[in-house]
Structure 1
Amino acid sequence: MNEDIYKGLPPILTAKDIAEFLRIGMNQAYGIIHEIGFRYGRTVRCTKNQLINFVEGGGRNHEDNEDLRAGAE
């Protein structure tokens, strides 16, 4: 794992942070954060380590987190 590419990331990320880091659109970023992240009030966030695991795993969530889209109201 190349730590240097993750150096500027904050410990807790928003969909906007993910979109900027991965250079993707906001819809794709929201899809990723809903897959790997956690709810905080009405927002969804993820940790830097969750994003690193997702990226290093080739875009697959290797943690046992529940898909947040399944719990959406």
Structure 2
Amino acid sequence: MLSKHSKDQREQREVVALSELVPEDHLVRKMEDAMDFSFIYEKAFKRKLELIRSNSIKKLTPIANRTVKSP
């Protein structure tokens, strides 16, 4: 037996906030306070939109009309 706890106790879910796990004086918190990372979220959002749009266009385009790019 790996644990003294019953199987039900081992399978319980727990919600934990990452901010609670990182100490207040940790380097990551200091970096977060000193730097503005919002540009990353903007770029990721724009890229996600591009991918969604390109996939939507591919779904609408009949297979016979698609061009295949050779490597």
Query: Where on the TM-score scale, by shorter chain, does this alignment land: which range?
Result: under 0.3
The structure whose Rg is larger is: 2
Q: TM-score, normalised to structure 1's length?
A: 0.22
Which protein has greater RCO, CA pairs closer than 8 Å, 6+ apart? Answer: 1
Greater share of strand: 1
Q: TM-score, normalised to structure 2's length?
A: 0.22
